Structure 1
């Protein structure tokens, strides 16, 4: 069945899941030395790999900075900083656009929470976009969770697991069926297909917090 509802949020989650068991650093380095054949697809891929690499480093922040065409990408943990292979200006523009589409951030400055539901848990993030003169910043802060995923992928990525006592609302990427479950089924309860699922749980006070559905994602 053709999937007509792959939102930017779902696409990014799919890309993270796709590369979850790969060598993120090696993939990022390869992207920097190869020509982009599909700019939009590569933008999603770079953003997913950078997020996964940051989780491997157990970073508090993933920062993108652009000034006069020069781009730096840094993961920060405490007082330590590690530089990642930087994307081209075109790839960074796509990645920033993806973040804007998902979070509905408009204008030159803004903040918004972002939750990515992955195969082995979820990433709880805070996104900030800022422009200061000729300098542009995209900063992604990794929110700490009391409960971490019980199992880790071979790559070492540490993904925050949702609290066990909080319901998680999911939407099927194939038929848009919504349901609540602590873990994802192999098949959608609605259409019976093996599908990708989008975490549509609310994580902000505006929509009532956990236990409710985020209307922006439903």
Structure 2
């Protein structure tokens, strides 16, 4: 029985550490911060950057002033740079203050199978372990924070592929043009999965809020 007792003791110790790290971890408005960014700042910044980039391209290279696809590529290239810089600034100013995520991953002390089971609970694919709810909620908050940062930065990646696709298409290189287009589509799909994970974690936190004890 000593072997089983040792395993139980190790498990209890791992969860005790995780429970301690979970204290104070809390989402204070990540959903609203991301919603505001994508409904207000990102569309405005994208439109403005594309327009300014196209104008700069036309003024810098007058011989292409009548070539719409190339000017559009200039604009989207500027939008890609603006998206990553703006996303990082917004993350620091609005997203970071909207969450108390702690300094250490709450799941760090747990084994791989335990971490996987927690992620499945957050995704709604496994029964909820009510005894470990504070740890699971803290993990959901940290997941949501990490995904929020990616949602702010990764839009620049498809914006990088689009000018390349336009450039290759303008040159008549349809193969590479299609490859760049497919690359942009893959990145957009990836953003869709990130959005799904963000919403799932938020849904889990909303469903379990009334069962959570004080942070």
TM-score, normalised via structure 1 length: 0.24
Q: Which has the larger share of helix?
A: 2
TM-score, normalised via structure 2 length: 0.24
Task: Compare CA radii of gyration and give the structure with the larger one.
Answer: 2
